[in-house]
Amino acid sequence: MPRRPVRVVHLVAALAVTAAACASSAPDVTPAPTTEPAAPDVTPAPTTEPAAAPDDPPDASGPTVLIALDMQDFAYPDEAAAVLERALDLHEATEVALDVYVTDTVVAAWADSRPDLLERLASSPVAAVSYHARPPRPYAGGLDWYGLDTLGPDELAATLVAYETHAVDPVTGAPTDEPGGFAGVTATLGTPPLAAAVSAGNPAVAGTLLDVYRDLGAVMTTTHGRRVALGETSHGLLLRPETVEIRLWEGVGAEPAAVLDAAVDEAVALAGDEAYIGVKIHDNDFFATASAWTTVYVEDRRRPEWNPDLRAPLLGEDERAAVWALYEGLVRHVADAAVTSSNLARLVDAGAG
């Protein structure tokens, strides 16, 4: 396939955001590995009109590649930390941008054991931090064990705020007195994660949760299962644009350039140079057969009380090497095809309206 120039951007770099003070007020997918149920697409329909073009738009040199690494594994925190370090080494060496989605559990663990890694992530010239919730929060992964859909609007909003401003007991799923959630990640990192992914199974719950994230300082969210154009919004949050999705864990063993080139071909056929290719992978894909949260909160049982000490088996060395070969090869192929990193501030302005 003739090589097309590819713009490489991450969605949140160079964008200053101030968190609204709502933690004390009462009005809180990434698809999973093949062993995990995919979260339903329940982000409410976009509520925005097409945005006006910026005065000085970025160069339209080709489709845009957005690479997302989901950090979520609490069973093997040292393994997860090693994945992030190796990924940052790769992306900084190649100057390929990266969006890193974190959970409050991972951030809290590293705040104690690896503050240096959090500092590196926050200061990386190529990486930007976003947030996603995982079970046992009852709206995460579409697994509502709490009965959120039975709550009235005010009680629902207060419950979600409690969950997104406090840590969660991993056995009972109840909020604790410790800080956590989106607000906890903000407090630890010193700035709000700029995107917050939503996978609630009920549209009313998802909409209320988007309101909470917006009020806590998020400026973006994500949705899956359909094309999303730059400039679409939901509940005042920009939607991460995506024309074609690459679930990288499903292509282990394939030739990296072929994986990306096929996605670029498909995306360009749909949207031309305004296409966005979303590349996604999870930390546990590099070292375990399943994520910690599906092992504990899906495969074992879906209601409290849970056993957070359960562990998925680790991958063998050959299996790990195959995942890294695909990921590193794809990132290097993106670097070879790229013209330059786009000015993200202008890209975001183009969708902000």
Instruction: Quick: pLDDT tens for 315-348.
Output: 999 999 999 999 999 999 999 874 233 323 234 5
**In the prediction, which pLDDT does 27 show?**
33
- Whether 35 shows a pLDDT value over 60: the answer reads no
**In the prediction, which pLDDT does 11 show?**
43
What's the mean per-residue pLDDT of the chain? 82
- Whether 121 shows a pLDDT value over 90: the answer reads yes
Which helix (H) or strand (E) segment holds residue 85: the answer is: helix 77-94
**In the prediction, which pLDDT does 300 show?**
87
Q: What is the arithmetic mean of pLDDT over 26-43?
A: 36
pTM: 0.84
* Cis before 136 (ω within 30): yes
Q: What is the arithmetic mean of pLDDT over 88-102?
A: 94
CA distances from 180 to 48, 150, 168, 278 (A): 31, 25, 7, 28
Which residue(s) pair with 196 in the sheet?
A: 131
Residue type, 233: T
**In the prediction, which pLDDT does 84 show?**
98
Give pLDDT tens digits for 234-283.
999 999 999 999 999 999 999 999 999 999 999 999 998 888 999 999 99
- Whether 217 shows a pLDDT value over 50: the answer reads yes
Asked whether the beta carbons of 149 and 203 are under 8 A apart, the reply is: no
- Whether 293 shows a pLDDT value over 60: the answer reads yes
Report how far residue 98's alpha carbon sits from residue 88's, in angstroms, rounded to the nearest whole number: 8
**In the prediction, which pLDDT does 48 show?**
37
Q: What is the arithmetic mean of pLDDT over 28-48?
A: 37
Give pLDDT tens digits for 148-187.
999 999 999 999 999 999 999 999 999 999 999 999 999 9
**In the prediction, which pLDDT does 342 show?**
33
**In the prediction, which pLDDT does 223 show?**
87
CA distances from 212 to 156, 191, 196, 209, 334 (A): 11, 16, 10, 5, 35
Asked whether the beta carbons of 242 and 227 are under 8 A apart, the reply is: yes
Q: Is 123 helix (H, G, I), strand (E, B) or coil?
A: helix
Q: And the tokens for 192?
A: 């709000």
Of 53-57, 203-207, 314-318, minimum mean pLDDT range:
53-57
Q: Is 54 helix (H, G, I), strand (E, B) or coil?
A: coil
Q: What is the arithmetic mean of pLDDT over 193-211?
A: 91
Report how far residue 137's alpha carbon sits from residue 135's, in angstroms, rounded to the nearest whole number: 4
Report how far residue 337's alpha carbon sits from residue 316's, in angstroms, rounded to the nearest whole number: 32
Asked whether the beta carbons of 278 and 68 are under 8 A apart, the reply is: yes
Asked whether the beta carbons of 96 and 308 are under 8 A apart, the reply is: no
User: CB-based contacts of 155: which residues, under 8 Å, 6+ apart?
Assistant: none
Residue type, 60: A
**In the prediction, which pLDDT does 274 show?**
87
Q: Could you give all domains of the chain from N- to C-terminal order, each with its CATH number?
A: 6-352 (3.20.20.370)
**In the prediction, which pLDDT does 61 show?**
59
**In the prediction, which pLDDT does 171 show?**
98
Report how far residue 6's alpha carbon sits from residue 164's, in angstroms, rounded to the nearest whole number: 36
How many other C-beta atoms lie within 10 A of the C-beta of residue 279? Answer: 23
Phi, psi of 153 (to 5 degrees): -55, -45
